[in-house]
Structure 1
Amino acid sequence: MSDTTETIEKITSLSDYINKVEKLQLNQESEPNQLNSKKHMNIYYRGQNQDFSNTLPSLVRNENYLKNENKLINDFITKYPELFGDCQNNFDRLALMQHHQLPTRLLDLTSNPLVALYFAVEQSNGSTNKDTDLTDGKIFPFTNFYNPVLLQQSLADDHFENILSEFTPIRANNRQFLKSPFSDEIEIESSLARLNGEDRNSVLSQLSQFYKDLSKVDKNASAYWGNLYADIVNGRGKKRNKGNLLNSYKQFNKYSSTKRLYHEIKKDIGDFEDQINPLELFVPKIVAPRIIDQRIKNQRGLFMFVPFVDKYGFTEERSMELLDSEEIQKRTQTRINILRLLSSSKDHRPVTFVIPCCKKKSIRAELERMGITESFIYPDPSHIAHEISKYY
């Protein structure tokens, strides 16, 4: 996302940042009509110490990683099985892998804006050749309510604009995007990451076909699937079946790849019913992990579960086309941006804080005086030792 489509707030000092964050939060609280809800909007922050052109997780930025997502996961578990003894589900395993810097589709966030600022001005360590003090840092605020403009843009990539109406009922439901690590939706997507590439691509292809079928049913801004899915979940005998959509959903559940996904899920959730709401898999989620160590506690860490993007898309003529890695990254970024925080209800541009490289050193010193130090962010012996050595 280029600067021309963002509202840029330049940060020159710690006090400047605190004032701008406070102003941003007050603006959101004073605009209840933006949410059409009395529910509280949470703000989450991602700090990056380099001026990357995107906020993609490393897994998505690397075509080879993405192709071998399940192998990365399984190889790590095979080599370090003792690490996962306390894990309760596939999301726990992904979170622990992310914690140990394995590329995953989780994006690190924090609910503490000062922690995000630390990451944005953090100096590169000896393991990298890049001097991050020569590039600007950035902070991207996210929220648990979606940006309708960017959701529509993401749907338009595959010409699924009609199904935007299906998301309208959840506009004021922050639970749609803020999830527990034990929720069925997160278990489904975490398990999908563990399927082999062929099965995962097959599931994603069938999901795309379902969206295509749904877009034929949802016309004139009418939402149909939500009511049909409620019929399915509640076991109603006579179910509506406009446009043969019920049969399309049943067909999705019959595929062998979908059955293997259900099998993977049931390894963690034995009584899981073979039912998935395909719309859930389209959007990103904010997930608060279990507090497994002091580092996550200090960092007030959360994750965004970045949604899967099918390697095939639809043209305007509704025929399928193979997407290159650049297009997959672009569409994934648009999905991530669905939860970017807007400047205001009148300005649909997302907010980005930019820390000029010349201000990084002074802001690090200010943060240190406030107790936001290397040993606070990384409370382990090696980082504490490194911090101590800097004083002598």
Structure 2
Amino acid sequence: MSDTTEAIEQVTSLSDYINKVGKLHLTQERKLKQLNSEKQMNIYYRGQNQNFPNTLPSLIRNENYLKNEDKLINDFITKYPELFGNCQNNFDRLALMQHHQLPTRLLDLTSNPLVALYFAVERSDGNTNKNTDLIDGKIFPFTNFYDQVPLYQSLANDHFENIFSEFTSIKGNNRQFLKSPFSDEIEIESSLARLNGDDRNLVLNEVNDFYKTLNSVDAKPQTYWSNLYADIVNSSENPRDQNNLLETYEFFNKMSSTKRLYHEIKKDIGDFEAKINPLELFVPKIVTPRIIDQRIKNQRGLFMFVPFVDNNGFREDGSSVLLDSNEIQKRTQTRINILRLLSSPENSSPENQQPVTFVIPYEKKESIRAELESMGITESFIYPDPSHIAHEILKYY
């Protein structure tokens, strides 16, 4: 997403930033009143000290990493099995790997806007050649309520526009996007990341075919999958099937690659019921991790679980097309943008609202760092481990 499609907010000082964040929260409260929703609309922040052209995790920015996602994960576990002794599921394992800088499809977020500001003005470390004090920093706010424009665009990429109606029932309901690390949906996707690459691609191909079938069914005024899936979960004797949608779903569940996915899940959840909802795989989720150490606690850390984009897409005539790396990155970014926080000018239509981005001019980074330090947001607070504490002490001598 380029700057021309964003609502840019320049940040010149700590107080300026706090005022702008306060306005965001007032805007969110107004949106909730318009939705008549009792759910809490949260704001999450991602700070980047470099002007990357996107908010993709490093795994997805690197084609080779993405192709070998399962190998990265399994090799790390094999080499450091003792590190994962307290992990309870595959999401815990992914979160711990992310914590140790292994590229994963988790995107680091924080619920503390000051922590995000620290990351946006943070100095580069000794392992990089880039002087980040010569580069503008950015902060991207996200929320747990979806934006219908990028959701529709993501579906339209493969001509699945009719499926959009299946998501409308969750407007004003944040449960679709805000997840516990113990939720079945997060376990499914975390396990899919560990699945052998060929098996994972087969599962994603079949999920794409399911979307295609559902799209043809939903061309009619009603939505069918929501009702049918509820009947499947409740083991109804007379499921509300239309156009053999149940048969398509059962075929997906019987595939050997899907069964291997269920096997991987059951290593963590022995009583897992093999009834995946394919629509859950389409959208990003915000996950609150277990507090495994002081760093996550201090940083008020969360993760966005970035959804999988199949290597194969569909043309308008329904034929399959192989997507290149750039297109996969573009489509993944559009999916991430489903949870970007929008500006809300008075009386503006959804199409005219733009994702908010805070930009910290590089010449303001040093002064804002000093302001943050005076508020206790220091290197040793963000990274409370001996090496970072030692580094902070050395700065005074």
Q: Same fold (TM over 0.5)?
A: yes
8 A Cα contact 2:150 2:334, kept in partner: yes
User: Do the aligned residues in 2 keep the contact of 1:51 with 1:137 (CA within 8 Å)?
Assistant: yes
Tell me the residue number matched to 1:377: 382
Supply the AA of the counterpart residue of 1:363: I
3-state secondary structure, aligned to 1:30? helix
Cα distance between partner residues in 1 of 2:248 and 2:104 = 31
Greater Cα offset, 30-39 or 276-285? 30-39
- Deviation track 1:257-282 (CA, whole Å, cap 9, x = no partner) reads 00000000000000001110000000
Kindly state the Cα deviation for residue 36 of structure 1 after the two structures are TM-superposed: 4.5
Q: How does 1:267-346 map to 2 (within 5 A)?
A: 267-344=267-344, 346=348
Return 250-259 or 233-242, whichever deviates more. Answer: 233-242
Q: Deviations over 1:162-202 (max 9, x none)?
A: 00000011112111100000000000000000001100000
Shift in Å at residue 344 of structure 1? 1.6
Cα distance in 2 for partners of 1:108, 1:270 equals 29
Q: Cα distance, 1:222 vs. partner?
A: 2.9
Q: Output the CA distance in 1 between the equivalents of 2:210 and 2:95.
A: 30
Contact 1:36/1:171 (8 A) holds in 2 = no
Q: Aligned partner of 1:284: which letter? A: P
Structure-2 residue corresponding to 1:157: 157
Give yes or no for the alignment of 1:233 onto 2:238.
no
RMSD after superposition: 0.9
1:38, distance to aligned residue in structure 2 (A) = 2.5
Residue in structure 1 matching 2:370, options 349, 365, 369: 365
**Match of 1:172, as an amino acid?**
G
Is contact 2:44-2:112 (8 Å) kept? Answer: yes
**Correspondence 1:87 to 2:62:** no
Which position in structure 1 is the counterpart of 2:103? 103
Task: Give the fraction of aligned pairs with identical amino acids, expressed as a percent.
Answer: 79
Counterpart secondary structure, 2:344: coil
AA at the equivalent of 1:123: R
Structure 2 residue 38 is the aligned partner of structure 1 residue 38: yes
The CA deviation at 1:32 is 2.4
Distance 1:37 1:164 in 2: 21
Q: Secondary structure at the match of 2:357?
A: strand
Corresponding position of 1:76? 76
How big is the shift at 1:239? 1.3
- Residue pair 1:35, 1:145 contacting (<8 A) in 2 also: no
Structure 1 position 351 matched with structure 2 position 345: no
1:49-82, Cα deviation, whole Å (9 max, x unpaired): 0000000000000011000001000000011000
Relative to the length of structure 2, the TM-score reads 0.97
> Unaligned 5+ residue runs, structure 2?
none
Query: Could you tell me which amino acid in structure 2 is paired with residue 171 of structure 1?
Result: K
Of residues 385, 388, 393 in structure 2, which corresponds to 1:388?
393
- Whole-Å separation in 2 of the counterparts to 1:102 and 1:34: 42
Deviation sequence 1:142-161 (CA, Å, 0-9, x none)? 00000001100111111100
Match of 1:208, as an amino acid? N
Relative to the length of structure 1, the TM-score reads 0.99
| Shift in CA distance, 221/155, structure 1 to aligned 2, threshold 3 Å | farther
How far, CA to CA, are the matches of 1:316 and 1:262 in structure 2?
A: 33
**In the alignment, is the contact (CA less than 8 A) between 2:224 and 2:241 conserved in 1?**
no
Equivalent pair of 1:162/1:221 in contact (CA under 8 Å): no
Aligned residue type for 2:354: R
Task: Give ranges in structure 1 of 5+ residues lacking alignment.
Answer: none
SS in 1 for 2:339: coil
Q: Distance in 1 between matches of 2:34 and 2:261?
A: 37
Which residue pairs with 1:129 in the alignment? Answer: 129
Separation in structure 1 between the aligned mates of residue 166 and residue 387 of structure 2, nearest angstrom: 50
Q: Which amino acid aligns with 1:369?
A: S
- Report the Cα distance in structure 2 between the residues aligned to 1:351 and 1:335, rounded to whole angstroms: 16
Partner of 1:199: 199
Kept in 2: contact 1:117–1:139 (CA 8 A): yes
CA distance in 1, matches of 2:337, 2:391: 36
The one-letter code of the counterpart of 2:280 is E
- 1:90 is aligned with what amino acid? N
